[in-house]
Amino acid sequence: MQGTAVKKGNSPPRVFKSVITATFKEHMAYRSRMAVSVFAQPVYFLVNYFIWQAIFQIRDTVSGFTFGQMLSYFAVSSLVGFLNWDDSGNVLPMLVQTGGFITFQLRPVSHIYYSFFQKVGHRIMAFLIEMLPVVCFYIMLGINLVPAEPFWVLISLFLSFVLSFLINYTIGTFAFWFVRTDGVRRAVYLFTSICSGAFLPLNLFPYSFQKLLFYLPFQFIAYVPVRVFIGQYELAGITMSIPQIVFLQAVMVAVMFLVNRALWYMGIKHFTGVGA
Amino acid sequence: MTGENSETRTRNIRFSAAGVYIQGVKTALASRMAYRGDFIMSMLIMMIVEFGGPVITLIIYNNGASFPGWNQYEVLLLQGIFLLSRGIAFPFFMGIVWNTIGRVREGTFDLLLIKPRSILLMTVVTGFDSEDLGKLIGGILVFRYALKNLPVQPASHWVSFLILFVFSLILMFAFALFMAGLGIVWVGNYRIYDIFMSVIDFGLYPKSIFTKTFQSILTYIIPVSLLASYPASALLGDLDQSVFMALLSSVVFLLLGFMFYFKMVRNYTSAGG
């Protein structure tokens, strides 16, 4: 009887729920840090607003975007950014460096799932503290935040949430080989941000670069969810229906998961921990 | 007697503010060199990150769009100046922000308070950020690239540019004081940088693209236009009278920064280290 109770208590859904709750409570203590976004994001957006307003004074469209669509792009991409942000690429190297990682190897939960559900807990709080006020700001500014196809948007957002985690976590696994990975992580973070379309719609980049971007996983983090939100997808002259591009996004998540697992097992073999 | 004088002079130089600062720079560089590969990589990334704004400008102009009244190289010049200002500020004195935040959180801020020098000098000295030299290199490259594609400017333009550029740095320092002061009371919050970065983002683009109200705010209240827009206009020989108000505003901003910072230092209550 007691054994059954212990088993139930340790069942994965309960463990993951506990991780989500604990992370939420832990970060709730530092909620004012997150609340900085309520000031910073509207200011960033205003800068973009003025830039594009000035540009659209001379032209009606830029790379197929109208002024309204461009603003929607930046608004939705910032919201996707809030949703996808995670620190797993920093936490794992820190655990490896400090030796704290050894304790995770002794726990009956794989670290990747633990880390993923930490992200879930953290992002639930971000939704309440960062996203909702910023959404209100966008609505006040008259930005169109009505998705073209809500069902596909939800799926695409979920997939981008998982994919961004897998990419960050994969970057973190490099800590098994390098003592300090700050430089590598910064490089990859920069590359990811540019190639995901977080700074600028990808179809504004030179055509040859767009072609390269089409085959990389990064567009599925921000560009694809935003284009799904707008209701039309186009990159490097390739147009796809929304279900098609979401399917490709799912395939990319599966590929990234396999890449991560392969790197993980190689890294674990390489890892040597002394004390904790 | 002469030997004693020379020894005293050397000692005075060594313990002057500049001497202490140089010593801090040497120590920071030496400790960062322990991980040379990572240092070079980080510096390179810092440099590449700085190209973000100019690359966006190039993409905008390559798509046939533009900022009214500014050609591509004029905008790049403005952004180059902005990056130069940031490239000097971040490694050389902006480190007081992360240094203060980190030390207050760890409790080691107290160690600086008991040193026989000004707390401001000590946080600047121990906050030298060698990686951010990459920002300076990035700024120099963008500035040079823009200059090469613009007509040669007369010496008078350069003089007014240099004066305004000094004020650009003064403004950066004022921002650093406000942020460091905030870092004392808002314990462990590195996102203070986000507030700053979002505000100075207005300085990366020509002042003329903003509405009149915003132009007034960016000139008279938080003179962000002084970071690059005015120095670039000076270099291009297109300066207007509002610059004097911006200069005055930057001096007031600096004084307020000092007052705020030292008030926060006075309010600091240690929790032990």
CA distance A11 to B130: 49
Mutate to test the interface with B, among A26, A36, A174, A188 (most CBs of B within 10 A): A36
| Nearest CB to B49; choose among A53, A190, A200 | A190
User: Is A205 in CB contact (< 8 Å) with chain B?
Assistant: yes
CA distance B71 to A148: 37
First to last CA, chain B: 45
Do the chains contact at B209 and A181, CB–CB below 8 Å? Answer: no
| Nearest CB to A54; choose among B62, B68, B194 | B68
10 Å Cβ neighbour count for B144?
11
Spans of chain B, pLDDT less than 70: 1-3, 271-273
Do the chains contact at B45 and A187, CB–CB below 8 Å? Answer: yes
Q: Mean pLDDT of all residues in chain B?
A: 90
Q: What are phi and psi of B99, to 5 degrees?
A: -65, -45
Q: What per-residue string of b and e applies to A12-50 under the rule 16 or more CB within 10 Å gives b?
A: eeebbeebbeebbeebeeeeebbebbbebbbbbbbbbbb
| Nearest CB to B48; choose among A43, A54, A190 | A190
Q: Work out the minimum CA distance from B11 to partner chain A, whole angstroms.
A: 38
Residue-level pLDDT at B271: 66
Residues of A in contact with B48 (CB under 8 A): 187, 190
Q: Work out the minimum CA distance from A7 to partner chain B, whole angstroms.
A: 40
Contact B248, B167 (CB under 8 A): no
CA distance A238 to B239: 47
Contact B146, B80 (CB under 8 A): yes
CA distance A125 to B81: 39
Residues of A in contact with B45 (CB under 8 A): 183, 186-187, 190
Exposed/middle/buried for residue B266 (C-beta within 10 Å: 0-12, 13-18, 19+): exposed
Residues of A in contact with B67 (CB under 8 A): 51, 54-55
CA distance A11 to A3: 12
Residue-level pLDDT at A248: 96
First to last CA, chain A: 35
Q: What is the ipTM of this complex?
A: 0.84
Contact B207, B229 (CB under 8 A): yes
Residues of B in contact with A30 (CB under 8 A): 188-189
What is the pTM (predicted TM-score) of this model? 0.85
Do the chains contact at B38 and A182, CB–CB below 8 Å? Answer: yes
CA distance A220 to A159: 8
Q: What are phi and psi of B65, to 5 degrees?
A: -90, 170
Mutate to test the interface with B, among A47, A49, A184, A195 (most CBs of B within 10 A): A47
Do the chains contact at A187 and B192, CB–CB below 8 Å? Answer: no
| Nearest CB to B195; choose among A39, A54, A63 | A39
Contact B97, B89 (CB under 8 A): no
Q: What is the separation of C-alpha B165 from the centre of its chain, rounded to a whole number of angstroms?
A: 11
Spans of chain A, pLDDT less than 50: 1-6
Q: Work out the minimum CA distance from A4 to partner chain B, whole angstroms.
A: 44
Domain extents for chain A?
A: 15-270
Contact B143, B80 (CB under 8 A): yes
User: Is A30 in CB contact (< 8 Å) with chain B?
Assistant: yes
Residue-level pLDDT at A179: 65
Residue-level pLDDT at A5: 43
Inter-helix orientation angle B36-50/B72-92, to 10°: 140
pLDDT in tens, B17-51: 888 899 988 988 888 888 788 788 888 888 888 88
Mutate to test the interface with A, among B36, B39, B41, B225 (most CBs of A within 10 A): B41
Q: What is the separation of C-alpha B125 from the centre of its chain, rounded to a whole number of angstroms?
A: 15
CA-based R_g, chain A, Å: 20
pLDDT in tens, B191-223: 888 899 899 999 999 988 999 999 999 999 999
Q: What is the DSSP string of A95-149?
A: HHHHSTHHHHHHSSS-HHHHHHHHHHHHHHHHIIIIIHHHHHHHHHTT-----SS
